[in-house]
Amino acid sequence: MCLAIPAEVTKLLPDAMAVVTIDGVSKEISVALIEDLAVGDYVILHVGYALAKIDPEEARRTLELLRELSAEAQGAMP
């Protein structure tokens, strides 16, 4: 099973690389698989590679669901 999460592109770099942010955490990733990428776009990120662009609203809803799941899981811990 693979997990890919939405990330916002905050900076485009040379050589098909970019910086993305997920909940305030920045990471440098490869964007070689995506054309016409711009700062502010959201991508689906899997192990350091952007796989595809995603609609910004869908990205926000997915991130919110992940936050809720994390909060519930932490609340369930003894």
pLDDT in tens, 18-65: 999 998 999 999 999 999 999 999 999 999 999 999 999 999 999 999
The DSSP symbol for 73 reads: H
Give me the domain span that covers residue 70. Answer: 5-75
pLDDT band of residue 78 (cuts 50, 70, 90) is low
Here the CATH number for the domain that contains residue 71 is 2.30.30.140
Q: How many domains does the chain contain in total?
A: 1
Distance CA(42)–CA(27), nearest Å, equals: 14
Total-model pTM? 0.85
Residue 7 has pLDDT above 60, yes or no: yes
Residue 1 has pLDDT above 80, yes or no: no
Structure tokens at 49: 């590679």
